Amino acid sequence: MEDLGLVAELFRTSSTLARAAASLEKLASGKDEIEPTEKEALSWSGEFLLAVDWSAQQQAKKPVGGGLALQATSVRPTFYSCLFRMAPQLREAGMHDEKELTSFLNNFYRNLLSPGTPGKGYKKLTSDQSKLGASLLHEMAESILVQINNNGLPRPTATLKDEWKPTANDLTPILIR
């Protein structure tokens, strides 16, 4: 990442996602009252995730602005890798196929856009769904920080094999020597 402007935007994205995750956890614990800045973070996160997720983009009616599109494009691989790493949690929550996952994510994004108020065509998140959504936002926020940590400097390792770390899911790649 050589463009410091993009790095700054991604850092802001990570911070906002982390704030939204904390707000979701607050809502999941039964506190319906959140501050305006927390509502703003939740709403922005919903808009951002709609721009990041390809399946949600096809259903979104509002066009994505240029700055948000650049951030979304930069974060998209991170988003899908977070979903991949969270596969065991998602299966445990009852999402066993793509249709169930897509349905949950779309409901999640819509709830983020208007926090605390269920709208037309979607239901208010349960406490467990809010916690799962908060986990996704935390995972994304941390992954974005890891992504920008390099800042375009050469990596100390030469190959991807040297950087490989096992993921938290049940898929274990085979390393060939």
CA distances from residue 123 to 98, 129, 168 in whole angstroms, order as listed = 19, 11, 30
The pLDDT, as a whole number, for residue 119 is 53
Q: State the pTM of this model.
A: 0.76
Higher pLDDT, 140 or 68: 140
Residue-level pLDDT at 54: 77
State the pLDDT at residue 177: 42
Q: Does 38 fall in a domain?
A: yes
The answer to which of 41-45, 63-67, 128-132 has the lowest mean pLDDT is 63-67
Is 168 part of a structural domain of the chain?
Answer: no
Neighbours of 132 (CB within 10 A): 22
Query: Within a domain: residue 170?
Result: no
The position carrying tokens 């065509």 is 121
In this structure, the dihedral spanned by the alpha carbons of residues 8, 11, 17 and 18, taken in order and rounded to 10 degrees, is -140
Q: Tell whether 24 is covered by a domain.
A: yes
**Is the per-residue pLDDT at 135 higher than 80?**
yes
Predicted local confidence at residue 160, as pLDDT? 47
| Interval 100-131: pLDDT, tens | 999 899 889 888 887 656 555 557 778 888 89
The number of domains in the chain is 1
Amino acid, res. 108: F
Residue 118, domain extent? 4-163
CA atoms within 13 A on the CB side of 4: 0
Q: Which of 93, 3, 109, 128 is nearest to 52 (CA)?
A: 109
What is the rounded distance in angstroms from the CA atom of residue 148 to the CA atom of residue 169? 24
174 lies in a domain?
no
Asked whether the beta carbons of 115 and 27 are under 8 A apart, the reply is: yes
Instruction: For the chain, give the percent of residues with pLDDT over 70.
Output: 71
Of 16, 53, 19, the closest CA to residue 8 belongs to 16
Which pair of structure tokens corresponds to residue 3?
């463009």
In a domain, 177, yes or no: no
Is 172 inside a domain boundary? no
- Residue 63: CA atoms inside 13 Å, Cβ hemisphere, count? 2
- The values of phi and psi at residue 58, to 5°, are -70, -20
